[in-house]
Amino acid sequence: MNHKHSLTITDNRTGKSYEIPIQYGTYPNYGASINALELRNIKTSEQDFGLLSYDPGFTNTASCSSRVTFLDGEKGILRYRGYPIEQLAEKSTYLETAYLILNGELPDQEQLKCWELGIIEHTFVHENIKKSIDRFQHNAHPMGILVSTVGALSTFYPDAKNIHDQECRNKQIWRLIAKMPTLAAFAYRHSLGLPYIYPDQELSYVGNFMNMLWKKSELKYQPDPVLERAIDVLFILHADHEQNCSTSIMRGVGSSYSDPFSAASSAIAALYGPLHGGANEAVLHMLAKIGSVDRVPEFIKSIKSGKEGRLMGFGHRVYKHYDPRAQICKKMAKDVFAVTGLNPQLDIALELERIALQDDYFVSRHLYPNVDFYSGLIYQALGFPLGMFPVLFAIARTTGWLAQWQEFLLDPEHKIERPRQIYCGTEERGYIPLDKR
């Protein structure tokens, strides 16, 4: 063992010392770790189970090693497969970025063409899926519809269970990335009582999505290029974010060798919550509640006093700096508003950000705007109802979920996920018959 790269721990209960090796990832100053199982050797006696680490919410526990996304929350860095998010948002497309995230390298022209054609080919869904969407209440939340229909895909494609077959996995990856916009658009049209629009295979990934959402009686839907690009960039920004709540669920469910549709359905359910993918919806509810710029100081005061809950769209488990995705969204909002007209709630958001970034409560806790703070305003300007916001997030994140699911399956250290607990309940006791209680 290299003693410079190890920990020496002394157990003061026994006086014994243990040497534990330190292991590294790509960056020696980021992600140095110890193998938690080494702690199990630390015991007071042979009968002792050994030491566990306790980490509710996994705030300092690496559940895997990964080569997909690098995130340094202290410095506000986000890279997919080594490429900075700023460069991908400026130069790439969602489908090209998806290829990169899934395969590790940017595609050449031929690979990109083949990848895009494969996606277009799988955009249609079985007619029975369409009928099942019809059965939902007219006001059903589209995320609820998405959870069910993505899970249902496993019954349409039972071959998806062959998770150890690379070719079969590729097919499911194509299917899911291709069908997400179709399912999302059908859920949206259902909520409006409008007929479903079938995919137009001559349009881009996002252009076709816009077509399925908003086509009326025109013969061919022509997406506005500025808005099409804005949605594409938002999809790039949301494509992956390493081990967040929904991705951990995708890996966790996938760890028992579930098919990818069932695992993705669980990931969508995790994304549904307001602390994760539902946050941008919550931001707009909050802005509507504030109502006008002059009421911002009063609102901030009530957040600080704990009366109002949290400032939605602020704070992040890993970013202790401005979220780089929020910077890109903030800039892009201007391009979108030039086409759609200004969103009046932008002024309230800007004032909230201005005041919060000067306030010691937020500064001392490193609370900065996250991606959801501005993305909701853009989605609203594009005409999406609030319920569709997490759905847009889910479409984009499907790439990351699938890449991480596949990476975990191929990991030689793959194990079914099964955390430990610290039992704090009562000790053994005898059963008391009902008439004696």
Q: Report how far residue 149's alpha carbon sits from residue 128's, in angstroms, rounded to the nearest whole number.
A: 10
Q: Candidates 80-88, 139-147, 258-266, 367-375 — which segment interacts with ligand CMC by CB under 6 A?
A: 367-375
Of 87, 365, 410, 420, the one binding ligand CMC by CB under 6 A:
365
Report the candidate in 420, 417, 399 with the shortest Cα–Cα distance to residue 408.
417
Q: How far is CA 172 from the centre of its chain?
A: 19
Among 190, 276, 330, 397, the residue binding ligand CMC under the rule CB under 6 A is: 276
Per annotation, catalytic residue among 316, 321, 335, 347: 316
Is 345 in contact with 288 (CB distance < 8 Å)? yes
- Shorter beta-carbon distance to ligand CMC: residue 172 or 246: 246
Is 276 catalytic? The answer is yes
- Residue 181 or 313: the one with the smaller Cβ distance to ligand CMC is 313
Taking CB under 6 A as the rule, does residue 372 contact ligand CMC?
A: yes
Tell me how many degrees the CA angle 35-66-373 measures, rounded to the nearest 5.
115
Q: Which of these segments, 156-164, 256-264, 346-354, 370-378, binds ligand CMC (CB under 6 A)? A: 370-378
Position among 129, 177, 185, 367 found at the interface with ligand CMC (CB under 6 A): 367
Whose Cβ is closer to ligand CMC: residue 207's or residue 400's?
400
Does 296 bind ligand CMC (CB under 6 A)? Our answer is: no
Q: Which of residues 310-329 bind ligand CMC (CB under 6 A)?
A: 310-317
Distance CA 186, CA 49 (A): 53
Cα–Cα distance list, 85 to 46, 111, 243, 425 (Å): 51, 22, 17, 46
Provide, rounded to whole angstroms, the least separation between the CB of residue 411 and ligand CMC.
23
Smallest distance, ligand CMC to C-beta of residue 85, A = 13
State in angstroms the smallest separation of the CB of 244 from ligand CMC.
5
| CA distance to 40, 255, 282, 304, 403, per residue, from 406 (Å) | 30, 10, 32, 42, 5
Question: If residue 180 lies in a helix (H) or strand (E), which one and from where to where?
Answer: helix 166-192
316 as an active site residue: the answer is yes
Q: Is 70 in the site for ligand CMC (CB under 6 A)?
A: no
Identify the active-site residue in 276, 294, 335, 366.
276
- Site stretch for ligand CMC (CB under 6 A), options 15-23, 156-164, 223-231, 366-374: 366-374
Among 92, 172, 370, 404, binds ligand CMC (CB under 6 A): 370
- In this structure, what DSSP letter does residue 434 have? G
Catalytic residue selected from 359, 372, 411, 414: 372
Closest distance to ligand CMC from the beta carbon of 402 (Å):
18
Q: How far apart are CA 178 and CA 184, in angstroms?
A: 11
Burial of 264 (0-12, 13-18, 19+ CB in 10 A): buried
- For residue 72, the cross-strand partners are 77
Q: Does 32 bind ligand CMC (CB under 6 A)?
A: no
Distance set, CA 412 to CA 16, 65, 83, 164, 268 (Å): 33, 11, 26, 13, 27
Q: Count residues binding ligand CMC (CB under 6 A).
A: 19
Cβ atoms of 263 and 397 within 8 Å: the answer is: no
Stretch that binds ligand CMC, among 193-201, 365-373, 381-389, 422-430 (CB under 6 A): 365-373
Between CA 20 and CA 277 the distance in angstroms is 38
Residue 366 CA to its chain's centroid (Å): 21
- Using alpha carbons, list the distances in angstroms from residue 315 to 136, 275, 390: 35, 10, 18
Residues between 225 and 244 that touch ligand CMC (CB under 6 A): 241, 244
Which one of 20-28, 33-41, 255-263, 306-314 is the stretch in contact with ligand CMC (CB under 6 A)?
Answer: 306-314
In the 8-state DSSP scheme, what is residue 373? H
**What is the DSSP annotation of 367-436?**
--B-HHHHHHHHHHHHT--GGGHHHHHHHHHHHHHHHHHHHHHH-TT-----------S--------GGG
Name which of 150 and 303 has its Cβ closer to ligand CMC: 303
- Which CB, 314 or 401, lies closer to ligand CMC? 314
Residue 100 to residues 69, 115, 339, 429, Cα–Cα distance (Å): 11, 11, 31, 57
Tell me which stretch binds ligand CMC (CB under 6 A): 23-31, 255-263, 303-311, 416-424: 303-311
3 is catalytic: no
166 phi, psi to nearest 5 deg: -55, -45
Q: What does the binding site for ligand CMC look like in residue numbers (CB under 6 A)? A: 241, 244, 275-276, 279, 303, 310-317, 365, 367, 370-372
Active site residues: 276, 316, 372
